Structures are given as C-alpha cells and as structure tokens.
Amino acid sequence: MFRIQFWTAVLLFIGSSAGASSAAAATMRCRINQQAWSPCRMVAARPGERWVLIWKQRRVEFVHDGTGQMRMRVGQAENWREVEPFWTADHSLCWGAVCATGAIPLE
C-alpha cells in the first residue's frame, strides 16, 4: 500500500509543479525486457497524468488517474495494462518491463 501511495504523491507533485498547460520533455535512455539501452525521449503533455516514452520505433504511453492506478501500453495498437513503478539498484525507473534512466523529470 505504501508504494502506491508514494507514487501517487510523486506523480501528483510532478503534475502540480509543471502547470496544467505546459508540456515537459526530457531526454534519457530507455529499454524494454532487459534489451540494450537506447536514447529515448519522455514527453508529458499533462505531467503526472499522461506521458509518452519514445525511442527507435517504439512508443510507450502512460496514464495515471490520481488514485494510485497507472496504466501503460506499448504501441498504439496494444491494450492498456496496469503497471506499478519501481526503482532498480542501478537507479533506473521501471514500469513493468519498460525502464528509463538518466534525467527523468520528477520535479
């Protein structure tokens, strides 16, 4: 329960610190299923609510509803699935099998 509440607070903080109409973007490295890291970009039209990771031919979308539930889909033709974010020992932030590292915009 603590993990969900903690991430809800983090994501709400992201949303409140960026402003409702601004678009945040960051360049990082991403991977899926333990593949090699690749340069990627995070774009958040509504920080804390809706953001996208983009790299190579991949597009991973995220939605957070403010209640602790976060959903992700890999590619626009895929189904949404619930994920729980977690930090790894190498300081990567992961959502299921998708991980990002670098200057992740958490503030």
Q: Which tens digit of pLDDT belongs to each residue from 54-106?
A: 998 899 999 998 888 899 999 888 999 999 999 999 999 999 999 999 988 76
Mean pLDDT of the residues in the chain: 78
The string of pLDDT tens digits covering residues 5-24 is 444 434 433 344 444 334 55
Give me the long-range contacts of 50-57 (CB less than 8 A, separation at least 24). 51/24, 53/98, 53/100, 55/30
Q: What is the CB neighbour count within 10 angstroms for residue 75?
A: 11
pLDDT digits (tens, 9 = 90+) for 44-65: 877 778 999 999 889 999 999 8
